[in-house]
A and B are shown apart, each in its own frame.
Chain A
Amino acid sequence: QVQLQESGPGLVKPSETLSLTCTVSGSSVRNGNCYWSWIRQPPGKGLEWIGFISYSGSTKYNPSLKSRVTISMDTSKNQFSLKLSSVTATDTAVYYCAKVRVGLTAPIDDWGQGTLVAVSS
């Protein structure tokens, strides 16, 4: 089973950039059977799809966040990353990195444990 682990600051100031990294073990980020995704969940609320990066480096983002979000990959470290700029309090959430299975209905079949990021001065 693939394991994913999020890392990064738990507190970010308003207007700054949120940066998180996901370290993957048990698979390569260059695995052609996977996409690598970020999902978030504000406290007490539902899930929001942020975007994903493919094994080739192509990306898809949620249009509601597209102007602020970047997902990238570091194949040498077997990691992928999320950057969200110009954050506000509404970006406070648990952020999950996850593996998407390519094919059929692209289900998310492995998740990190999640990391809470609070936006506050």
Chain B
Amino acid sequence: DIQMTQSPSSLSASVGDRVTITCRASQSITNYLNWYQQKPGKAPNLLIYAASILQSGVPSRFSGSGSGTDFTLTISSLQAEDFASYYCQQTYGTPPYTFGQGTKLEIK
């Protein structure tokens, strides 16, 4: 199975900050990488797919980049509603399509 490792596991930041979350795959996954946001008690919500394509309706302050094994999710200017957990998911080749362990973004 392809292992996905996110860093950091948790992060404290303030409204207006620029935040970057990293996801590393145990082998190359080209651009088969999706990002999700999950708020407490809610289902995850798709933010970015194919490493860098913004899902319809997602604010432009979210962006994704990377290919191969290293990927980043960036929030350019944190808003109050962005405090949540974030997960990457790889969908390369044969299942399972594994998720990272998550990054919890908290208010400083």
Residues in chain A within 8 A of chain B (CB atoms): 46-49, 51, 60-64, 96, 98, 101, 104-109, 111-114
Do A105 and B31 form a contact, CB below 8 Å, given A46-B87, A63-B1? yes
CA distance A61 to B87 in the complex (A): 20
Contacts of A62 in B (CB 8 A): 95-96
CA distance A62 to B91 in the complex (A): 12
25 A–B contacts, CB within 8 A, in A order? A46-B99, A46-B101, A47-B87, A47-B89, A47-B99, A49-B89, A49-B95, A61-B95, A62-B95, A63-B96, A101-B49, A104-B53, A105-B31, A105-B33, A105-B34, A105-B49, A106-B97, A107-B34, A107-B46, A107-B50, A108-B46, A108-B89, A111-B45, A113-B42, A114-B43
Closest CB of chain B to A51's CB: distance in Å?
7
Closest CB of chain A to B42's CB: distance in Å?
8
Residues in chain B within 8 A of chain A (CB atoms): 1, 31-34, 36, 42-46, 49-51, 53, 55, 87, 89, 91, 95-102
Question: Does A51 lie within 8 Å of B43, measured CB to CB?
Answer: no
Closest CB of chain B to A108's CB: distance in Å?
6
Please provide the 6 A-B residue pairs with the shortest distance between their CB atoms, ordered closest to farther. Answer: A111-B43, A107-B49, A62-B96, A47-B99, A107-B34, A106-B91
Do A49 and B46 form a contact, CB below 8 Å, given A63-B1, A108-B36? no
Number of residue pairs A-B, CB distance < 8 angstroms: 64
Contacts of A105 in B (CB 8 A): 31-34, 49-51, 91
Closest residue on chain B to residue A64 by CB atoms: B96
Closest CB of chain B to A17's CB: distance in Å?
21
CA distance A49 to B42 in the complex (A): 17
Question: Does B99 lie within 8 Å of A49, measured CB to CB?
Answer: yes
Most chain B beta-carbon neighbours within 10 Å: one of A46, A63, A98, A109: A46
Question: Does B95 lie within 8 Å of A108, measured CB to CB?
Answer: no
Contacts of A96 in B (CB 8 A): 43-44
CA distance A114 to B44 in the complex (A): 10
Do A60 and B95 form a contact, CB below 8 Å, given A109-B55, A111-B45, A114-B43? yes
Closest CB of chain A to B31's CB: distance in Å?
7
Contacts of A101 in B (CB 8 A): 49
